[in-house]
């Protein structure tokens, strides 16, 4: 991670790893449905929940400042 390229990769990776950790903590460690359409639906629900929670956190931080 000494080079600029390595640092750029690490910056991108830490964002993705954090999102994956949040998904896993919320129960997306193993998908319990079968089939591509059902799996996509479950993953989209988790993505929507993640976006709503981030929006709520950002609105709360703006309201307090």
Give the DSSP per-residue string, the chain.
--SHHHHHHHHHHHHHHHHHHHHHHTT-SS----SHHHHHHHHHHHHHHHHHHHHHHHHHHHHH-
- pLDDT attached to residue 34: 95
Question: For the whole model, what pTM was predicted?
Answer: 0.67
Per residue in 12-56, pLDDT tens? 888 888 888 888 888 888 888 999 999 999 999 999 998 999 999
Instruction: For residues 50 and 23, give the distance between their C-alpha atoms in angstroms, rounded to a whole number.
Output: 8
- pLDDT attached to residue 1: 66
Confidence of residue 65 (pLDDT cuts 50, 70, 90): confident
Tell whether the model's pLDDT for residue 59 goes beyond 90.
yes
- Ranges of each domain in the chain: 4-64
């Amino acid at each position: 991670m000494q080079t600029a390229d390595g640092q750029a990769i690490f910056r991108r990776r830490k964002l993705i790893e954090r999102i994956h950790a949040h998904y896993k903590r919320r129960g997306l460690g193993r998908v319990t449905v079968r089939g591509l359409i059902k799996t996509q639906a479950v993953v989209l629900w988790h993505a929507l929940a993640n976006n709503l929670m981030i929006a709520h956190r950002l609105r709360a931080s703006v309201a307090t400042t």
